[in-house]
Amino acid sequence: MKYPNGQKRAVRVNKTKAERQRNFSNRGMTLEEDINQTNLYYLAHQVCVVHKKPTPVQIVKVDYPKRSAAVIKEGYFKQPSTTDYNGVYRGRYIDFEAKETNNKTSFPLNNFHNHQIEHMKAVEQHGGIAFVIIRFAAHDQTFLFTAMKLFPLWERQFNNKGRKSISYQEIVEEGIEIPKGYPAIIDYIKVIDQVFF
């Protein structure tokens, strides 16, 4: 019964144009929800086995009430030391991070952490398939961008006055748009077939 107090409405009013468009075109699903649904579909149809890693939590205090489950009473979010998604496709190890932006012209590099980049470098070094999935919500476009192409753009920001983002144009030119399917499938495996096999 949240509607009468206006909370839901307030939330709706505060949404950006990009979010409203997304709502319309894509039932308001976040990129994470889309990818989780895609992975469930892939698993059920024996395409690949990819799962999202749980959010890392530093657990400080746990209560053990009688006759019920343990309750975490104090915990903190930890910064993940790897990317969020990994799994197996055609015997190969695949590993990726997924981020969306409401920005129309560029994707800010602070969406990634340095140790995630280091992790993807290690994955590449060991023959794994590493990439990022980037969604421009305002354009309703989702791209696969290989880690190999990301690394030099990541390094660029540390140069003298280096830009702290990847332009939309660079992503269009160097990334590959991921085809959308039904239901809410972003079919990244199709792109992997094209790029890595």
| CA–CA gap between residue 197 and residue 195 (Å, rounded) | 6
Among 3, 76, 158, 197, binds a copy of itself (CB under 8 A): 76
Stretch that binds a copy of itself, among 83-91, 103-111, 156-164, 171-179 (CB under 8 A): 83-91
In this structure, are residues 178 and 187 in contact, taking their beta carbons and an 8 Å threshold?
yes
In the complex, least distance from residue 76 CB atom to a copy of itself, rounded to whole angstroms: 6
* DSSP state letters, 35-66: HHHHHHHHHHTTS-EEEEPPPPEEEEEEE--T
| CA–CA gap between residue 82 and residue 68 (Å, rounded) | 33
| CA–CA gap between residue 22 and residue 140 (Å, rounded) | 7
| CA–CA gap between residue 92 and residue 196 (Å, rounded) | 10
In this structure, are residues 146 and 130 in contact, taking their beta carbons and an 8 Å threshold?
yes
In this structure, are residues 178 and 142 in contact, taking their beta carbons and an 8 Å threshold?
yes
Among 12, 15, 71, 183, binds a copy of itself (CB under 8 A): 71
In the complex, least distance from residue 174 CB atom to a copy of itself, rounded to whole angstroms: 24
Among 15, 28, 88, 179, binds a copy of itself (CB under 8 A): 88
Restricted to residues 26-45, the positions that interact with a copy of itself (CB under 8 A) are 43
| CA–CA gap between residue 82 and residue 117 (Å, rounded) | 8
Among 6, 28, 75, 162, binds a copy of itself (CB under 8 A): 75
- Contact letters (x/-) for a copy of itself, 112-151, by CB under 8 A? -------x--xx-xxxx-----------------------
> Is 79 among the residues that bind a copy of itself (CB under 8 A)?
no
Size of the residue set binding a copy of itself (CB under 8 A): 41
Nearer to a copy of itself, 77 or 158 (CB): 77
Residues that bind a copy of itself (CB under 8 A): 43, 46, 48-49, 51, 53-57, 59, 69-78, 80-82, 86-95, 119, 122-123, 125-128
